[in-house]
Amino acid sequence: MTPKISIPVGVVFYQPAPEISAWYKTDKALKKQGGPPKQRPRKPAPNPQYPTKEQLALRLLASFKAQQPEVRIHAVMADALYGTATFVDGASALFQGVQVLSQIRSNQNIRIGQRHQHVADYFATHPGTPYSIRIRGGVEVVAMVGSARLYVCAHKTKRFIVAIKYAEEETYRYLIASDLSWRTLDIVQGHTLRWLVEVFIQDWKSYEGWSPLTKQPGAEGARHSVILSLLVDHILFLHPDQQRQLKNNLPAYTYWLPLSRFR
């Protein structure tokens, strides 16, 4: 991410194990019929030939570290899918204890003394206060923010937990940070940078052949789409008209490319 554009530095494709996919489908159908857990088939053991999303994400980080050792990492940000102890601790350890920011569910258990409760219940009795936040270094907004360093049961350690709710939202979301020394405001403003990834992914889905109508499905088609889109991105960023847009802080031009022409 730069002040002007966001460029991917690593791409990997997740493929669920066929036996896991089949189990999910069967389990969902039996659960809908009211089948008790004991009468439903057990979830198959992990298949090492099909790495999990967490494993793939950690491999991407390790690959980036090996290929770009001169880049200094200040923080790793990830969405709620990666708010697990495995990912948070693993990503932090990769970069010598760097800050890792993610999210946890509202019903995640925390421990207060000897008592367990959901994180949402804790912050319901510890309401937030108005904070002035600068979104990605730009627009300033006011959000309700509360924070505490709490023991997260699933992580078996303390995390810095931040409850945040923007003006247009009805419920809080809960951020977690591995490094307890950061300030609340630093965590909140740091996490806003993650949205740039969502914008980038949305552009890819909308304009670069990732829709259900793509003519090149599967892993091979996905790789072709990525290679082609990155080549076109590179050319587009260097185009004089695009350079003028970026220089004047105007929205960058996008493009639509029918990948079926390149089969």
Which residues form the domain of 161? 51-193
pTM above 0.85, yes or no: no
Pair (180, 100) in one structural domain: yes
Name the token pair of 11. 């791409």
Query: Are 183 and 204 within one domain?
Result: no
- Residue 69 shares a structural domain with residue 183: yes
- One domain for residues 60 and 188: yes
The answer to whether residue 22 is domain-embedded is: no
The answer to whether position 261 is within a domain reads: no
Q: What is the DSSP letter of 198?
A: H
Residue 28 lies in a domain: no
Look at residue 11 in the predicted model and tell me its pLDDT: 82
Q: 90 with 141, same domain? A: yes
Statement to judge: residues 164 and 214 lie in one domain: no
222: left (phi over 0), alpha (psi -120 to 50) or beta: alpha
Distances in Å between the alpha carbon of 206 and those of 1, 118, 159, 189, 261? Answer: 20, 37, 36, 27, 17
Question: Cα separations (Å) of 178 from 101, 103, 209?
Answer: 7, 11, 37
Q: Report d(CA 76, CA 65) in Å as an integer.
A: 12
pLDDT at 158: 96
Q: Is residue 42 part of a domain?
A: no
pLDDT of residue 23: 93
In a domain, 37, yes or no: no
pLDDT, position 1 = 63
Which residues share a beta bridge with 166? 143
Whether residue 186 sits in one domain with residue 59:
yes
The dihedral built from the CA positions of residue 245, 248, 251 and 252, taken in this order, carries a sign that is: positive
Residues 61, 173, single domain; the answer is yes
d(CA 209, CA 73): 32
Shared domain check, 178 and 58:
yes
Non-local (6+) Cβ contacts of 171 within 8 A are 106, 165
Task: Determine contact, residues 58/94, Cβ cutoff 8 Å.
Answer: yes
Please indicate, yes or no, whether residues 224 and 145 belong to a single structural domain of this protein. no
Give every residue of the chain whose pLDDT is below 70, as ranges.
1-4, 203-218, 255-263
pLDDT tens readout for residues 7-56: 778 888 888 899 999 999 999 999 999 988 888 999 999 899 999 999 99
Q: What is the pLDDT of residue 45?
A: 92
Is residue 138, in this structure, part of any structural domain at all? yes
Q: What is the pLDDT of residue 3?
A: 66
Angle between helices 53-67 and 85-94 (to 10 degrees): 10
Examine the domain organization and report whether 116 and 221 are in the same domain: no
59 shares a domain with 133: yes
Of 152, 178, 193, the one marking the end of a domain is 193
Distances (CA, A) of 81 to 27, 52, 54, 231: 21, 11, 8, 30
Query: What was the pLDDT predicted at 262?
Result: 43
Q: What is the pLDDT of residue 201?
A: 72
CATH at 94:
3.90.350.10
* Angle (nearest 5°) at CA 106 between 202 and 53: 45
Number of domains in the chain: 2
